[in-house]
Structure 1
Amino acid sequence: MDVIVNLGKLSDQLEETYHKILASFKDPVQRAIVYILAQSKLFSENAEMGIKDTELIKVLYDEDSKKYHKNKVQREIKILTEKGIITEIKRRPLQHLVDDRYL
């Protein structure tokens, strides 16, 4: 029963997170990156179990290869890192974590 309650809370938190991200980001690529990283942070047991950059890029590219071109996504990850919105937590494989203010 605790698992169901916990999932319900996480689902509610994810919805709040979605609205924060919508209000904070105009760029659709940045919005998608931050939202996926937020999902990963909320639903992963620990940070290193979360989504890696290569997986994130592939998910977005597979969704819409024109909108989420690999180079564009990588460039936006770099910009988000420079702005302190996401933080690099691992180099090999490259992995980022979203700042808690977006959760």
Structure 2
Amino acid sequence: MMNQAQLYQNWLIPFTVFGQECVVARVDAIDVIKQAYGHGFIFLGYDAFTIFPDGKRQPITEFCASFSIENQPSINAAIDSLKNDPLQVTHYVFVFKPSA
């Protein structure tokens, strides 16, 4: 099984590693959703952050999402969720897993 960094590299999605997490810029977030759904992954949610010019990051917990395997949003609902986040959200950490 590939790790998330390998998946993002294969999907040509830019990311930054913070500790053990792959952080994706807001501008690339919808591409992550499209790729994850397109490759049959189960979308379990995301954490939202503001990353400042000095590299510090601030979690924005009120704009995080969590889904169960049984309660998956449609791809359009997942994309709409990201589009509705405020502009202070600059980056995301996504959680998804293979369906099999």
Same fold? TM cut 0.5 = no
Q: What TM-score comes out, normalization by structure 2 length?
A: 0.28
Higher strand share: 2
Q: What TM-score comes out, normalization by structure 1 length?
A: 0.28
Q: Larger RCO: Structure 1 or Structure 2 (Cα < 8 Å, ≥ 6 residues apart)?
A: 2
Higher helix share: 1
Structure possessing the higher radius of gyration over alpha carbons: 1
